Structure 1
Amino acid sequence: MRLLPALAAAFLSITTASTAIAQCGGSFNSFVSGLKQEARAKGYDKSTVNAFFANVRQDPATIKADRSQGVFQRPFLDFSQRLISQNRINVGRKKAQQYASTFDRIERQYGMSRGVLLAFWAFETDYGAFQGDFNTLNSLVTLSHDCRRPELFRPQVFAALELYKRGNFIPTKTTGAWAGEIGMVQMLPADIIENGVDGDGDGKVSLKTSPQDALMSGGKMLSHLGWRAGEPWLQEVTVPANLDWSKSGLDTTLPAKQWAKMGVKPREGQLANLPASLLLPQGRKGPAFLAYPNFNVYFEWNQSFVYVTTAAYFATRLEGAARYDAGNADPGLSGAQMKQLQTKLKARGHDVGKVDGILGKLTRRAVQAEQQRLGLPADAWPTQQLLNAL
């Protein structure tokens, strides 16, 4: 379910020797020939390159999956209630006990508590049960050939080639998610090269079959992405009705003590002595959270605001937090209305990214700015009232 996963730096750049090679589009066979030429320019021998690409095929199902991500249009309450069930919580807590020694090791080495990785494990593959059956090489080459996001996927083709050279990738048999992620916590080839860990001590990094390897590798990757050891990531809070809503959102960070002076209170426990942003995923009448610095690391794993918020919240639930107070949020917009809103926001000069009906960070920022301009509560939650006013 990762949209824009982190890429290992060693595989991000395309060599100057390949500048004449088509970076996307055109004949698929010619495109593959260009990949082969680039691989040879990177120093891989001809027999390895030919064997690696021998059976590669364009996969229409991959493109269909890439274009069918409407689930991310759902608002936080709907999305989170679809992904989080009592059964997933129960299984997660059993897994925490079953692999307690692995989670203890992750906490010692990387400083993150078990709920964080358990939540990813649950959402990405339902604790390893559904890892995807797309041929990984076909998906990566197909997405590299497609001109929507080739800069993300082309480097992963060569990372997969490196794994193949090392004996850790079988072009005809390695499978995973439609976007090329492999294993129980869904890591891309470059991430595996950079962060793969032999967690069970058998001398191999087996992210598809070894929970210890997958969890340790995921922990290492989050650590490299900037996870701050021993710190929280998200905490549910209550907010006063007279709060200055323009201060909500990820663009404003204040010391937790300052939020407390403004009337923000934790539903459980104490506020951390850390900078934090006030997150209102469905506006001032819905659930409210303080997002601490570690919350930003989630966006290095996945760029979807609703996925990130749900994963971070689920991690707290797995560690014993109460179910959120859903509140009584104002009705949101349909997917078509969201696209209409994004079009209007773009016409007013706001950068909302792609007009896709998804309430992401850029759209939230634009909504909040327009709410302020129009004298509406600036909580970044788009409503019919805002759409009408625009």
Structure 2
Amino acid sequence: MTRRAHFTLKSVSGFLAGLCLLTGAASAQQCGGDFGQFLAGVKQEAVAKGLSANAADRTLSGARIDRKVLSRDRAQGVFKMTFLDFSKRVISNYRLKNGAANMKKYASIFQRTENEYGVPAPVITAFWALETDFGAVQGDFNTVNALATLAHDCRRPELFRPQLIAAIEMVQNSDLDPQRTTGAWAGEIGMVQMLPEDIIKFGKDGDGDGHVRLKQSAADAILTAGAFINHLGWRRGEPWLQEVAVPQNLNWAESGLGKTKTGAQWAALGVQPRWGSISSNLPASLLLPQGRKGPAFLAYPNYNIYLEWNQSFIYTTSAAYFATRLAGAPRYDAGNPDPGLNDAQMKQLQTKLRNKGYDVGKIDGILGAGTRAAVQDVQQKLGMPADAWPTPALLNRL
């Protein structure tokens, strides 16, 4: 999905379990309570927005709560794997081979997509591979049930209620079958996993049949993905990620997202590309997913678009790196990173950092942005290489 629900959707404080809000115009039940009354309110809102009562009835008449969806939502999968472990798992020879074959097979639609939206084939192909294995694994949750369940649930109704109404519009347009359309647990549909509202706004008919069907049509999926990525701010003709070799005397505190230098400035510090040439005039951040002894990358402005697609740092960096491989880059130099922390150690580290006043968010064992920033600051204060990679040595020092 664009903006993957199970990684990027943010909880909204103030929405408590069982809370119901009233819309000013329709006074419709927003979440919780009797499911039938909730669906009646959704129909009322959909009709008020110009959709047909018949389409609303066809969409909602068989809808039911899916407890498996709620279970997935309460236990959202979050990456605790390292970048090396995760990227090795998802960037297989099979996916590289099939990615190249699909770029060749659909060369004309990829070219059209790049001409119209500026997004090159490797970028879309990497998402296509990671999201659904080129359409082979699109999810088996009934889409309407998933959206109705999450819209009725009071954790994030402000997100999912509009998606349910967008699904009604797709039914009206004959682009969704309420009984048969399936996808991911959070309502994403198709080869590149998009939510209904995004399909309505950015869906493109790539094969000329008059419909946007992202489950069946690779051409529709490719063109739609390009349109959406363009909407997120993709910069035509610019790189997104580049593997580099770094000198060991670098000031590691200057690494990390949010800290940028021009490519020329990084080069002056001894940072050298392992493939291609550094874009001298573009700002770039130095990413060290597993510290100064592991792989190193320059992340250019287009890398930020990956974070819009999915805010997981490990997924994002793997997807961006995968796209460089499809574009011709060699396999990364894995280096020899210092050992990291296991789950219990990471939680212990987060607790210690929080006790020192750092905002690391939930004590969950996840090396997220807050924990990375705290680690880097503490490393610097302790006189350790400030590469934001937590190690047993750092934990012992704390």
Q: TM-score, normalised by structure 1?
A: 0.91
Compared with structure 1, are the counterparts of its residues 385 and 56 closer, same or farther at alpha carbon in structure 2 (3 Å cutoff)?
Answer: same
Offset at residue 106 of structure 1 (A): 1.5
Mark the runs of 5 or more structure 2 residues left unpaired by the alignment.
Answer: 11-20
Match of residue 380 from structure 1: 388
Shift in alpha-carbon separation, 1:197–1:43, aligned structure 2, 3 A? closer
Question: Could you tell which deviates more after superposition, 41-50 or 176-185?
Answer: 41-50
1:136 maps onto 2:161 in alignment = no
SS in 2 for 1:73: coil
Q: Per the alignment, in what secondary structure is the counterpart of residue 257 of structure 2?
A: coil
Structure 1 Cα separation of the partners of residues 125 and 85 of structure 2: 21
- Tell me how far 1:366 sits from its aligned partner: 2.1
Q: Aligned partners of 1:51, 1:38: CA distance in 2, in Å?
A: 15
1:244 aligns with 2:251: yes
Unaligned runs of 5+ in 1: 8-13
Q: How does 1:142-291 map to 2 (within 5 A)?
A: 142-273=149-280, 274-291=282-299
Task: Give the equivalent residue in structure 2 for 1:362.
Answer: 370
Out of 97, 101, 114, the residue aligned to residue 107 of structure 1 is: 114
Aligned mates of 1:261, 1:298 — CA distance in 2: 27
Q: Determine which of 83, 86, 96 is the counterpart of 2:93.
A: 86
Aligned partner of residue 297 in structure 2, secondary structure:
strand
Could you tell which deviates more after superposition, 341-350 or 371-380?
A: 341-350
Give the superposition deviation at 1:208: 0.8
Superposed displacement of residue 26, structure 1? 4.3
- 2:332 maps to 324
1:10 paired residue number? none
How far the C-alpha of 1:5 sits from its partner, in A, is: 6.2
For 1:18 and 1:342, how far apart are their aligned partners in 2? 46
Larger CA deviation: 347-356 vs 206-215? 347-356
Aligned AA for 1:297? I
- Residue 51 of structure 1: aligned partner: 58
Amino acid at match of 1:169: L
The offset of 1:352, in angstroms, is 2.7
Q: Note closer, same or farther for the CA distance 1:70–1:53 as it changes in structure 2 (3 Å cut).
A: closer
Inter-partner Cα distance in structure 1 for 2:77 and 2:189: 22
| SS of residue paired to 1:293 | coil
Residues 47 and 92 of structure 1: CA distance in aligned 2, closer, same or farther (over 3 Å): closer
Q: Name the amino acid aligned to 1:125.
A: T
| 1:237 and 1:289 in contact (8 A); partners too | yes
Change (3 A) 1:375 1:141: farther
Moved more, 357-366 or 293-302: 357-366
User: Alpha-carbon deviations, 1:328-366, whole Å to 9, x = none?
Assistant: 111112223323333333333333333332222222222
RMSD: 2.3
* Structure 1 counterpart SS, 2:79: helix
Q: 1:79 to 1:67 in 2, by over 3 A?
A: farther
| Match of residue 350, structure 2, among 324, 342, 345 | 342
1:241-294 superposed Cα distances (whole Å, 9 cap, x missing partner): 111111101110110110111111101221013110000011111100000000
User: Which residue of the partner structure matches residue 11 of structure 1?
Assistant: none
Note the alpha carbon deviations across 1:300-327, whole angstroms, 9 max, x for none: 1111110000000000111111111111
Amino acid aligned to 2:306:
Y
Could you tell me how far apart the structure 2 residues matched to 1:212 and 1:51 are? 28
The residue type paired with residue 363 of structure 1 is T
Q: Is the 8 A contact 1:4 1:301 kept in 2?
A: no
Compared CA separation, residues 70 and 175, structure 1 to 2 (3 A) = closer
Distance 1:230 1:15 in 2: 47
Give the conservation status (yes or no) of the 8 Å contact 1:124–1:185.
yes
Give the share of equivalent positions with the same residue, in percent. 61
Structure 1 range deviating more: 354-363 or 199-208: 354-363
